[in-house]
Structure 1
Amino acid sequence: MSKRVELHPASIKHLKKGHPWVTKDRFSSNFPQKDSFLWAKTAEHGRAILINDPSHQMIKARLWSLIHQNDSFNENIFKRELKERLEKSYNFRKSLNLDRDNYFLCFGEADQLPGLFIQVLGTRALIQFYSDFWNRYEKEVSDFVLNYFKKNDIWLQKRNKNQQKEFYCLNRKNKDDEFHITEFGIRYKIKLNKSYDIGLYTDMAAIRNRLKKNFENKRVLNLYSYTGAYSAFALKNGATDVTSVDLSKKYISWLEENLKENDLMSSHESIVSAVLPALKKFKADNEKFDLIICDPPSSSSDGKKRTKAIDSYRELIPLFYDLLNSRGEVYAFLNTHSITRNKFETKIKEYTKDSPFSISGHLKLTEDCPSLKGFPEGDYLKGLKLLKK
């Protein structure tokens, strides 16, 4: 069932320490294209069972298990282990008693289900394949979900490097879908098969809830606001007013739909603009805020140039300082696998040396989005709380 491959010594070291990926190198570049499973020797008596991922640009295989050389592995064993791991992830989420309709039923590598994510969205479930490997086991995964969510519409999304929408409803003839879910008492519109993303980032939900006591009587600026989850959340939790800035008219319109759904429009201002010129205009108009939320896309364009999120903070932070009231705060996020938490914090410290801020807290994935020890790429959503000195 599986074909033997040779691994780079560094890959073996990382796998044994808990890292679940084999990335592209001179060894993995020679992996076979058609085999679903691979195995490699990791020690005198140790073996790694790997999921083959030939179509991925950088991740060429993902760890399924480390076994002894005398242990068996075949199709039936894999299917049994798949079911056991899905059951474990389901029972863990059930134990959390979350106050929201949206949560991750399984969270990929952190649940020992590499490249497989499943979101529950109220009366829908969304299976997301980040590896083409899972196409072969679509039935096993969808059958498991249907067993626990018999009344749900089950959707499948194949996440691809080109960010082209690729959704399928597995148990209905729906071509697309629009509906509302409730997260911490706020209703948000979800749209399936309308664009690559669905309108709400469930991985940010637990972080939002952790911050709920920090909005009372605050004037809030939400940058790269997308469909306004933080804008609605801030207003619902006592913000005096919120200004949302996003370059996309489509997302600002969606944001306003969400605010109207929750009767929160009266204390909100929408601005369709690139962030940097919007901040410069706020400064020229002597605007002041108590709290700035900044969650830039990993790479963005203002129509003239493309900027990486980490680099954008170099220009943004001095403007944050000018726009904040005394003891004002910034919640600065970075959403990428490729930059570690330590590097993000180092860069922010570098950018704040001339604009005095102190780091007053750290924000990270939690609850239904657990972390995996030895896997820094899984800690992709990083946040820092910056306090104006």
Structure 2
Amino acid sequence: MLTSIFILAHKSCGDTIKNWVNWGFVLMTKVVLHQGKQKRIAGGHPWVYWGEIKEIIGDFNPGDIVEVVDFRDRFVGRGYINPASQITVRIMTRNSEEEINEEFFRKRIQGAWEYRQKVVRESNACRVIFGEADFLPALIVDKFGDYLSVQTLALGIDVHKETIFKLLQEIVQPKGMYERNDVSVRKLEGLPLITGFIGEPFDPKVVIKENGIQFVVDLEGGQKTGYFLDQRENRMALQGLVKGSRVLDCFCHTGTFSMYATKYGAKEVLGLDIAAPALEVARVNAQLNGYGDRCTFKECNSFDELRAMERAEEKFDVVILDPPAFTKSRKAIEGAIRGYKEINLRGMKLLPPGGYLITCSCSYHMHEDMFLDVILDAARDAGRQLRLVELRRQAKDHPMLLGYPESHYLKCVVLQVW
């Protein structure tokens, strides 16, 4: 076992523990927080960073379950530890009586599945488990029709994945499961990148239904787990805004916003994306739904194309901006601000007075107030005024844990531009 870096301060305590071990008691390793560091964690945040730890009492292996206590030895929570990760402990339970075993995982997965069955409407696809927000840190499970895509993104959850696979089969009863552990964050946990079928193989390209629209999802080769489920409810915000309109969908990926715009009556939709494979799927989606005559897609850099369209004095009634995350760290926030300002400014210039801008950010570090400030700054430079129609967040199957602000990541702002 990995011996704790920290040792007990008093020999008497060490002798007591030694006696307990001799008498057959099994002691859980204890992680003691520095004074003043417990407030955020006790308030519901599930992450314990290395610098917040005063000492670790006992031996452990990376991935083991440990107990977290404050500087007065009061119980805070129980979770898994990995000293190789910047997030040293991820808390799984705040109940001192609750053990982390198969029954624990059964209750958590069952609870998550029951919640989705209550909040997801008109779709056979949803996020079944959203990591920390479902009290199962670093576990992502998405359901696409009859199939599941699974990610275990930290060592402490990865060691339980066989149990998790078994319980997902028992509770959700999919026809097949696919492991998408090809995410670089696993390297930070000392984990290999792995993809493949869990159990019997199946055709990884499946067709899902969402609000009356069909979409092809590639569980094997698609982005993330295969499809972006978190915008499901935001795409419905197009209803009433696009009828009879010319729509520009930037960073369109597989054309999800484009399909909704067409469904809701747009006369013409142009989707832009730099990824040729994603655009091939977008074209298939358009044909699948009978929208091929109104949807076209162009392979290009959206930044460059927005500038070119401005020079050409192109006009659209509705512009949609749904870019990938421009920053995944605080260090890159200045560059992200420049990127968001640029695309919003260019998008506004393509709109006539009274046109609509739907603009999104999935960067957690681009906080909501900051994002609104960037949009307003872009409007000033473009000489435009903005009227807020809606301020939206991620879909209900991606719940936001109030004590864990990292779960509040997606912003979708619907604006009328004058």
Q: TM-score range by the shorter chain?
A: 0.7 to 0.9
8 Å CA contact 1:125–1:153 kept in 2: the answer is yes
Identify if the C-alpha distance between structure 1 residues 171 and 11 changes in structure 2 by more than 3 Å, giving closer, same or farther. Answer: farther
| Residue in 1 that maps onto 2:16 | none
The structure-2 alpha-carbon separation of the partners of 1:279 and 1:101, relative to structure 1 and needing over 3 Å to count, comes to: same
Structure 1 residues 150 and 315 mapped into 2: Cα distance closer, same or farther (>3 Å)? closer
Question: By how many angstroms is 1:73 displaced?
Answer: 5.3
Aligned residues: 377
- Pairwise CA distance, 1:230: 0.7
CA contact (8 A) 1:200 1:229 kept: no
What secondary structure is seen at the aligned counterpart in 2 of 1:276? helix
1:194-227 deviation per Cα after TM superposition (whole angstroms, max 9, x unaligned):
2553542011112223443332222111111111
Alpha-carbon contact 2:205-2:220 (below 8 Å) kept: no
1:317, distance to aligned residue in structure 2 (A)? 2.6
For structure 1, the residue ranges without an aligned partner over 5 or more in a row are: 301-306
Q: Please say if 1:169 is aligned against 2:197.
A: yes
| CA distance in structure 1 between the partners assigned to 2:142 and 2:149 by the alignment | 5
Residue 389 of structure 2: aligned partner: 360
3-state DSSP of counterpart to 2:29: strand
CA–CA distance in 1 between the matches of 2:82 and 2:358?
Answer: 36
* Larger-gyration structure (1/2): 2
How far off is 1:246 after superposition?
A: 0.8
SS of corresponding position for 2:68: strand
1:27-67 CA deviation, whole Å, 9 max, x = no partner? 499896624222221355333212224454x4332121224
Deviations 1:96-132 (A, max 9, x none): 3521111112222222122112111101012222222
Q: Is residue 51 of structure 1 aligned with residue 100 of structure 2? A: no
1:256-304 deviation per Cα after TM superposition (whole angstroms, max 9, x unaligned) = 111111121111222211112211221222211111111111239xxxx
TM score, norm. by length of structure 1:
0.87
Partner of 1:264: 291
CA distance in 1: counterparts of 2:55 and 2:406, whole angstroms = 21
Given the alignment of the two structures, is residue 38 of structure 1 paired with residue 66 of structure 2, yes or no?
yes
1:144 matched residue in structure 2? 167
Give the letter aligned to residue 379 of structure 1: H
- Mark the CA change 1:198 to 1:119 in structure 2 (over 3 Å): closer, same or farther: closer
SS of aligned partner of 1:120: strand
**Equivalent in 19, 22, 36 of residue 45 of structure 2:** 19
Verify: 1:114 aligned to 2:137, yes or no.
yes
| Contact 2:341–2:378, Cα closer than 8 Å, also in 1 | yes
Counterpart in 2 of 1:205? 232
1:129-162 CA deviation, whole Å, 9 max, x = no partner? 2222222211221122211343510222225226
Q: Give the match for residue 91 of structure 2.
A: 63
CA distance in structure 2 between the aligned counterparts of 1:275 and 1:151, rounded to whole angstroms:
38
Query: Which of 104, 112, 133 does residue 81 from structure 1 map onto?
Result: 104
Q: 2-side partners of 1:211 and 1:54: how far apart?
A: 46
Instruction: Identify which range, 142-151 or 183-192, moves more after superposition.
Output: 142-151
Q: Which residue is equivalent to 2:29?
A: 3
Q: Is the 8 A contact 1:296 1:309 kept in 2?
A: no
- What is residue 284 of structure 1 aligned with on the other side? 311
- The residue type paired with residue 385 of structure 1 is V
Q: Distance in 2 between matches of 1:350 and 1:374?
A: 30
Letter of the 2:152 counterpart: F
Matched residue type, 1:291: V
Residue 412 (structure 2) aligns with: 383
- Show the counterpart of 2:363: 336
What amino acid is aligned across from residue 60 of structure 1 in structure 2? T
Normalised by the size of structure 2, how large is the TM-score? 0.82
Q: 1:153 maps to which residue?
A: 176
Q: Distance in 2 between matches of 1:88 and 1:352?
A: 44
Aligned-pair Cα RMSD in Å: 2.7
Greater strand share, structure number: 1
Whichever residue aligns with residue 380 of structure 1, its letter is Y
Match of 2:264 in 1: 237
Unaligned runs of 5+ residues in structure 2 are 1-26, 187-191, 328-333
> Which of 323, 333, 346 in structure 1 is aligned with 2:373?
346
CA distance in 2, matches of 1:202, 1:134: 23
For 1:365 and 1:194, how far apart are their aligned partners in 2? 23
**AA matched with 1:221:** L
Distance 1:55 1:240 in 2: 54
Q: Secondary structure at the match of 1:155?
A: strand
Q: Who is 1:304 aligned against?
A: none
- The whole-number CA distance in structure 2 between the counterparts of 1:260 and 1:180 is 13
Which amino acid counterpart does residue 119 of structure 1 have in structure 2? D
Q: Which residue of 2 aligns with 1:274?
A: 301
Rate the CA distance shift 1:319–1:173 in 2: closer, same or farther, 3 A.
Answer: closer
